[in-house]
Structure 1
Amino acid sequence: MPNSVNQTDVLSTRPGSLFRFVARNLYVQVLLAMAIGITLGHYYPEIAAQMKPFGDGFIKLIKMTIGMVIFFTVVSGIAGMQSFGKVGKVGGIALLYFEIVSTIALLIGLVVANIIKPGESFNVDPAKLDASQIKQYVTAAQGNGLTDFFLNIIPKTLVGAFTSDSILSVVFVSILMGLVLGKIGDKGRPIRELVDACSHWIFGIINMIMRFAPIGAFGAMAFTVGKFGIASLQSLVVLISTFYLTAAIFVFVVLGAIGYWYGFSIFTVLRHFRSELVLVLATSSSDAALPALMRKLENVGCKPGTVGLVMPAGYVFNSDGTNIYITMAVLFIAQAMHVELTIWHQLMILGVATLTTKGSAGVPGAGFVSLVATLALVPEIPLVGVTMLLGIDRIISEGRALVNVIGNVVATLVIARREGEVGSNDLQLAMRTVTSD
């Protein structure tokens, strides 16, 4: 009889324990939502394709807060630095880091595409491709040169920075206000206290919005599978597989080595930020996780000023996943159309891509716009060739966004370690402690 009671107690508590586990873990909720979305997309594609507004709505909720999150974080952090030199040093080191790692990502995509040759089995006639499908991307690529890119950083008004789609405009205004606030000393104390209070307020809003993350993940995943399906991607499965393999090599080898050099493990980073990474994977948007990433980076010891400078700037200047895809996709198109590229052609592609991946930042579909802009400057490869990749762009965009986010989290941790904001053991302990909760 006692055994029966014990078994009953165990059975009765398991559902409750499982429910509490799911309720406490956002990443588990998002994974379940993704599974439901994939199932719906596979069996009821027409219904699933109509779920897109759920994903889009969640992304819009997050985006409406990003400007305020960056503003309060950067103003508070820069005011605390109280030095133009400190801001310039952190920004300069970050930009140098971005350029080096981004170039490595471009090179890896180029090397892997030359070794595996994912487009070699294709025999594509450019005359049979429909160029009208890429008209919107060509227009976007032509209208966002580097000159326009840098000029657009300066908003028309201070308030206008928060109504535009440019993250850098908000960073620019925030740095100016933070520096002035730091210079005026005690007179600015009430404003700094207000900014700190508003920071807690905006993150409270973020916490509320994140409760809807599973719904957003469900909608985005259901739409992707329902709209494009699995069968339609089979002809390009080699390119998809090659990209994800290369992305994994970059994360675990390149970023792993960088993390090891600076005293932290890439595996610990992935575990600690797993909820945000799953959300990025589900929504194909790095924006969806930015506020939560910034808060977690501060929690492990990174200074608000460093986080506020490096993370938003990294979203523009350090798109490692996009860089891998650009060089790989360009070579794929050339191979599919049997266009012979010399070493000089490929070096030109590398140089062009270092510019186009920055110039298209902030543009909807930025990864694809960067690809179009790169090809437009390489006349040997027919621009119409990008139409072959329209069907898989959504699938690959998930991987691009994921690698972009991981790259920028690592960048922020590296800069924080270089500036002595957190020790190696303290950083590892902070991430492991929170991870195990």
Structure 2
Amino acid sequence: MNSHEASRDASAAPAARRPWYRKLGMQVLAALVLGIAAGLVFPKFGEPLKIFGDIFLALIKAGVAPLVFLTIVHGIASAGDVRSAGRVGWRSVVYFEAVSTLALAVGLLAGNLIPAGQGMTAVAVGAVPATAAKAAPQGFHDFVMHLVPDNFIGAFAKGELLQVVVLAVMVGIGILAIPEARRVRINAGLDLVSEVLFSFINLVMKLAPLGTFGAVAFAVGSNGTAVLIALAQLVLSFYAVIVLFIVVVMGLIARLAGFSMWRFMRYIKDEILIVLGTASSESALPRLLIKLERLGCAKQTVGLVLPTGYAFNLDGTSIFMAMGVMFIAHAYNVPITFEHQLGILLLMLLTSKGAATVSGGSFVVFAATVTSTGMLPVEGLALIFGVYRFMSMAIATCNTIGNSLATVVVARWSGTFDRQAALRHLHPERYPETACADARLDDGNLLPEDTNDANPHPSGIPLKAAGTSH
């Protein structure tokens, strides 16, 4: 056995002996099960635990806005010129609009075929949430004006992701106008600041199991089984449509792009479990930025497509809004013609953009859409709000998978994708060294001990930065 083979065996061995309880995904899954049990058996005990979920999501939100800003700015600045960044940008927009429209159409079709909501108005419901009751219709003028921040810092302080994206694009294009010699130093500085943010997120992610336990225990304990049984048809049919959309639509897109959707989901399974437990797609963003780059997507493509998709490519939100509208129409016996549904689809294409990615944001946007139609009773919002926390798990999960897939597809479309690197990560059984590298993220480690190693990784990332030094 030569020295290279010995080194490879040594690096692969720890991954096989790693105990299951060290994997962040397994910790979140265990917390999810315990949270359900605690909420069902001790409902009064489960409700106060909401604070753990709120703390975790608040910490994640604190780091996501600056992280999105930095990744987009760096993605544009490292593209070298506006034309290169624009090539990735327009492809992203085309993909986002096409798939979002398809998701809305699938949701409306499912809402027509599945009579969920009929006879549901007899169910006792609570009051409409204050944020939903105050949701006002958003016209095109309001939407466009909301894109433009009137205060640079205010966009970050308020967590306005759309405004942060707009600022990042403008700053990134501005950097491209700076002479290259100085631009190199700026990019190096952005890398250093990003490393600090990733270290912060890495620490916060250690709290993911605790946040999951508290959030799920509260959801089960506060809603109780009566509401869940009364609205079981809506929840189950929604989950079924989400699964079908991922398997059929996204599976077909992945196949056309030349890879297996099943293997891709297995590669990001820990991130899927984190999102499923926290009902927030933001919770997986920092890890996905690292993982998709390791998969072979160019850093500038990941930095442009993934954060932008969190504001413009919300497939799960689109399906929820479409099915929710049809559910309220069924529940209150409001006839909706094909022309009405077409108009609502166009309306939702506008309102679904920029839905907040933290838990609950989609419901506020949905409330604004229902109000905007002028033909659906606002009281119907309370029907769905009773089980929205459970539906938001599927919404956030679908959004996360959809944006991850979009990043890979746009990278392939733009010619910024390393297919050989992807094969190593999607087929870990063939490449034990790569499997050991991916194991670092399973332990919740976003950053290595040393990111300045000069030995290049085949995917374009230094060996230690890719986590091969286990």
TM over 0.5: yes
TM-aligned CA deviation for residue 347 of structure 1:
1.4
Indicate how the Cα distance of structure 1 residues 72 and 380 shifts in structure 2: closer, same or farther if over 3 A, else same.
closer
State whether residues 140 and 363 of structure 1, in contact with CA within 8 Å, keep that contact through their aligned partners in structure 2: no
Q: Which residue of 1 aligns with 2:172?
A: 178
Indicate how the Cα distance of structure 1 residues 424 and 228 shifts in structure 2: closer, same or farther if over 3 A, else same.
same
Indicate how the Cα distance of structure 1 residues 61 and 363 shifts in structure 2: closer, same or farther if over 3 A, else same.
closer
Q: Distance in 2 between matches of 1:178 and 1:360?
A: 23
Indicate how the Cα distance of structure 1 residues 148 and 24 shifts in structure 2: closer, same or farther if over 3 A, else same.
same
Segments of 5+ residues of structure 1 without an aligned counterpart are: 1-16
Among candidates 97, 100, 107, match of residue 99 of structure 1: 97
Q: Distance in 2 between matches of 1:139 and 1:364?
A: 18
Q: Which has the higher helix share?
A: 1
Among candidates 309, 313, 337, match of residue 314 of structure 1: 309
| Higher deviation after alignment, 341-350 or 260-269 | 341-350
Indicate how the Cα distance of structure 1 residues 281 and 102 shifts in structure 2: closer, same or farther if over 3 A, else same.
same
| Higher deviation after alignment, 76-85 or 392-401 | 76-85
Segments of 5+ residues of structure 2 without an aligned counterpart are: 1-14, 429-433, 440-470
Q: How does 1:359-370 map to 2 (within 5 A)?
A: 360-361=355-356, 365-370=360-365
Deviations 1:339-374 (A, max 9, x none): 222211221221221112126547973322232222
Q: Distance in 2 between matches of 1:364 and 1:27?
A: 19
Indicate how the Cα distance of structure 1 residues 181 and 349 shifts in structure 2: closer, same or farther if over 3 A, else same.
closer
Among candidates 154, 157, 160, match of residue 154 of structure 2: 160
What letter matches 2:320 in structure 1?
Y
Indicate how the Cα distance of structure 1 residues 371 and 427 shifts in structure 2: closer, same or farther if over 3 A, else same.
same
Q: Distance in 2 between matches of 1:401 and 1:182?
A: 34
| Higher deviation after alignment, 232-241 or 361-370 | 361-370
What letter matches 1:308 in structure 2?
G
What letter matches 2:392 in structure 1?
S
Q: Which residue of 2 aligns with 1:292?
A: 287
Indicate how the Cα distance of structure 1 residues 234 and 378 shifts in structure 2: closer, same or farther if over 3 A, else same.
same
What letter matches 2:294 in structure 1?
N
Deviations 1:359-396 (A, max 9, x none): 65479733222322222233333222222112011111
Q: Distance in 2 between matches of 1:378 and 1:189?
A: 50
Q: Which residue of 1 aligns with 2:395?
A: 400
Q: Which residue of 2 aligns with 1:211?
A: 206
Question: Equivalent residue of 2:364, what SS?
Answer: helix
| Higher deviation after alignment, 365-374 or 388-397 | 365-374
Deviations 1:7-54 (A, max 9, x none): xxxxxxxxxx99941343110111111122112111111111111111
User: Does 2:275 correspond to 1:257?
Assistant: no
Question: Equivalent residue of 2:150, what SS?
Answer: coil
Instruction: Provide the alpha-carbon RMSD of the alignment.
Output: 2.4
Q: Which residue of 2 aligns with 1:343?
A: 338
Indicate how the Cα distance of structure 1 residues 151 and 83 shifts in structure 2: closer, same or farther if over 3 A, else same.
same
Question: Equivalent residue of 2:353, what SS?
Answer: helix
State whether residues 272 and 435 of structure 1, in contact with CA within 8 Å, keep that contact through their aligned partners in structure 2: no
Indicate how the Cα distance of structure 1 residues 362 and 283 shifts in structure 2: closer, same or farther if over 3 A, else same.
closer
Indicate how the Cα distance of structure 1 residues 422 and 327 shifts in structure 2: closer, same or farther if over 3 A, else same.
same
Q: Distance in 2 between matches of 1:26 and 1:343?
A: 46
Among candidates 246, 267, 278, match of residue 262 of structure 2: 267
Question: Equivalent residue of 2:373, what SS?
Answer: coil
Indicate how the Cα distance of structure 1 residues 382 and 25 shifts in structure 2: closer, same or farther if over 3 A, else same.
same
Q: Distance in 2 between matches of 1:110 and 1:71?
A: 34
Q: How does 1:208-247 map to 2 (within 5 A)?
A: 208-247=203-242
User: Does 2:243 correspond to 1:248?
Assistant: yes
Q: Which residue of 2 aligns with 1:69?
A: 67
Indicate how the Cα distance of structure 1 residues 63 and 426 shifts in structure 2: closer, same or farther if over 3 A, else same.
same
State whether residues 296 and 419 of structure 2, in contact with CA within 8 Å, keep that contact through their aligned partners in structure 1: no
TM-aligned CA deviation for residue 218 of structure 1:
1.0
Among candidates 87, 92, 116, match of residue 114 of structure 2: 116
Q: Distance in 1 between matches of 2:47 and 2:344?
A: 36
User: Does 2:136 correspond to 1:141?
Assistant: yes
Question: Equivalent residue of 1:230, what SS?
Answer: helix
